[in-house]
């Protein structure tokens, strides 16, 4: 029998570790964000031998195998799981050397990895640089060798002309949206949400934030998703129609709201653009800039009016089937449609239902769907293997090398 893979401390990575991790993810005290949608759907887990795990689901889920490849389904070391947030022990090609919170994470090659000879880079440091100008300065000064998700389109031509660097354009699974709190008045009225959609000029937003390096979207799916439906023109930019819908809904203007913005440039710069556009239809958006901890502790808990966020997780549309999710969309019709889609095996029917879900989210104007960003990777010449596309929010360093 083929030996099991190993954790970096020498312990076996086997079916018992999988069972432990999944049961931990669905435990009553679990904070795993896929707990409700994925792990609570697992009725029974059995391990006939060290190499086999059998999962029985309560309800069919056509995307279950895909979900097993996401970060939320990572298999944890049973003996160190409690410390995984700060001292993780994994089975991959690298092990944690140091974590300077808020500054950098340093990894080193693990010689016990099952294919250690294929790993060319012995040490990797990820630096945390939120400010786009600081990212540009770090690249130019040699402080970093590459930026897989370059966030300064205004500086792109500078790197394209610099022979020391390579610039590559790719795709993402991201959905940039102006999230609307569907629970709060007057946003609980679909006419008000539609008014917000008509008030926003997506092209002006994309040109102003991304220098045009993004695609407009009209629902919570990315153009890279199989079965994607083009709905970006559903709510044409029409300030007069926005005003009429607000009047029809009985909204007195000026309507004062708060627009909460997390740190990324697309949110901070984009928020300024959105506030200016909303003001033209009588919606006065007071901007509140917050750090991620505040956003996660307040906005993501449902304490907000409007916010701007790029949802980078692929195929995360099932959040719309959860009334407790932070935007508060409560639609039995959508939940029934999503359940039918999950239980359907025929590819043609699944594609049709996937389109129906997109159209329903758009029709209900749950959020204002803005952009699918182009992924831009900038890195030093000679560095090979960085992803130019971002199908999932990850950086696979196992294939990176210097040539």
**How does pLDDT run along the chain (403 residues), one tens digit per residue?**
455 689 999 888 999 999 999 999 999 999 998 898 899 999 999 999 999 999 999 988 888 998 898 889 999 999 989 988 888 999 999 999 999 998 999 999 999 998 999 999 999 999 999 888 999 999 999 999 999 988 888 899 999 999 999 999 999 999 999 999 999 999 999 999 999 999 999 999 999 999 999 999 999 999 999 899 999 999 999 999 999 999 999 999 999 999 999 999 899 999 999 999 999 999 999 999 999 999 999 999 999 999 999 999 888 998 999 999 999 999 999 999 999 998 898 999 999 999 999 999 999 999 999 999 999 999 999 999 999 898 877 889 999 999 9
CB 168 within 8 A of CB 376: yes
The span from the CA of 116 to the CA of 398, in Å, is 9
Q: What are phi and psi of 309, to 5 degrees?
A: -155, 145
Residue 105 CA to residue 127 CA, distance in Å, equals 7
How many residues make up the chain in this entry?
403
10 Å Cβ neighbour count for 59? 10
Its CATH architecture, for the domain 175-373, is: Roll (3.10)
Amino acid 130: pLDDT: 81
> Among positive and negative, which fits the CA dihedral 284, 286, 292, 294?
negative
Q: Which long-range contacts (CB under 8 A, 24 or more apart) does 181-185 make?
A: 181/302, 181/304, 181/305, 181/306, 181/326, 181/327, 181/328, 182/327, 182/328, 182/329, 182/330, 182/366, 183/302, 183/328, 184/305, 184/328
Q: How far apart are CA 65 and CA 5, in angstroms?
A: 21
Separation between Cα atoms, residue 59 and residue 61, nearest integer Å = 6
Residue the block writes with tokens 């901007």: 287
The predicted pLDDT at position 108 comes to 97
Domain range list for the chain: 5-83, 94-171+375-402, 175-373
Q: Phi, psi at residue 44, to the nearest 5°?
A: -150, 140
Pairwise CA distance, residues 224 & 216, whole Å: 13
**What stretches of 85-219 show up as alpha helix (H) in DSSP?**
132-141, 156-161, 190-199, 202-210
Neighbours of 247 (CB within 10 A): 14
Residues 191 and 242: beta-carbon distance below 8 Å: no
Distance CA 279, CA 297 (A): 28
C-alpha 394/C-alpha 306 separation (Å) is: 28
SS3 (DSSP) at 356: helix
Q: Where are the beta strands (DSSP E) in 140-187?
A: 146-147, 165-170, 175-180
Alpha carbon distance 168, 160 (integer Å): 9
Find tokens 């002006």 and name the residue.
Answer: 204
Answer yes or no: are the C-beta atoms of 137 and 354 closer than 8 Å.
no
Smallest CA-to-CA distance from 295 within 324, 329, 326, 330 is with: 326
Q: 94-171+375-402: which CATH topology?
A: D-Maltodextrin-Binding Protein; domain 2 (3.40.190)
Q: Are 379 and 170 in contact (CB under 8 A)?
A: no
Q: What is the pTM of this model?
A: 0.84
pLDDT at position 3? 52
Architecture, CATH, for domain 5-83:
Alpha-Beta Complex (3.90)
CA gap 210, 94 in Å, rounded: 34
Report the pLDDT value the prediction gives residue 153, as an integer from 0 to 100: 86
Neighbours of 31 (CB within 10 A): 7
Using CA atoms, how far residue 234 sits from 27, 83, 231, 237, 364, in Å, is 42, 47, 5, 10, 11
């Amino acid at each position: 029998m083929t030996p099991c893979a190993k954790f970096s401390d020498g312990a076996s990575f086997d079916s018992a570790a999988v069972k432990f991790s999944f049961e931990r993810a669905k435990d009553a005290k679990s904070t795993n964000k896929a707990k409700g949608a994925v792990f609570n759907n697992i009725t029974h887990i059995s391990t006939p031998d060290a190499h086999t795990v059998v999962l029985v689901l309560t309800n069919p889920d056509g995307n279950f195998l895909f979900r097993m490849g996401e970060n939320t389904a990572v298999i944890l070391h049973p003996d160190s799981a409690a410390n995984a947030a700060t001292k993780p022990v994994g089975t991959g090609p690298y092990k944690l050397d140091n974590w300077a919170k808020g500054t950098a994470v340093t990894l080193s090659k693990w010689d016990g990895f099952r294919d250690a000879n294929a790993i060319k880079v012995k040490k990797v440091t990820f630096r945390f640089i939120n400010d786009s100008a600081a990212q540009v300065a770090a690249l130019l000064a040699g402080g970093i060798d590459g930026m897989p998700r370059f966030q300064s389109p205004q500086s792109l031509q500078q790197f394209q002309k610099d022979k020391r660097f390579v610039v590559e354009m790719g795709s993402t699974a991201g959905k940039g949206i102006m999230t609307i709190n569907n629970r709060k008045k007057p946003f609980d009225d679909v006419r008000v949400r539609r008014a917000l959609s008509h008030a926003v000029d997506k092209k002006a937003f994309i040109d102003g934030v991304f220098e045009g390096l993004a695609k407009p979207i009209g629902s919570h799916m990315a153009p890279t998703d199989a079965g994607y439906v083009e709905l970006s023109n559903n709510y044409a930019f029409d300030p007069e129609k926005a005003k009429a819908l607000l009047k029809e809904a009985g909204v007195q203007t000026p309507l004062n709201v708060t627009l909460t913005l997390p740190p990324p440039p697309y949110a901070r710069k984009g928020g300024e653009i959105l506030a200016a556009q909303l003001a033209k239809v009588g919606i006065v958006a007071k901007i509140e800039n917050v750090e991620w901890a505040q956003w996660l502790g307040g906005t993501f808990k449902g304490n907000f009016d409007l916010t701007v966020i790029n949802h980078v997780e692929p195929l995360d549309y099932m959040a719309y089937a959860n009334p407790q999710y932070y935007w508060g969309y409560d639609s039995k019709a959508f939940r029934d449609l999503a359940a039918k889609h999950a239980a359907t095996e025929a590819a043609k029917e699944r594609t049709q239902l996937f389109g129906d879900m997109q159209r329903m989210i758009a029709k209900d104007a749950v959020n204002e769907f803005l952009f699918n960003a182009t992924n831009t990777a900038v890195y030093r010449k000679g560095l090979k293997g960085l992803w130019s596309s971002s199908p999932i929010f990850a950086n696979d360093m196992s294939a990176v090398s210097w040539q």
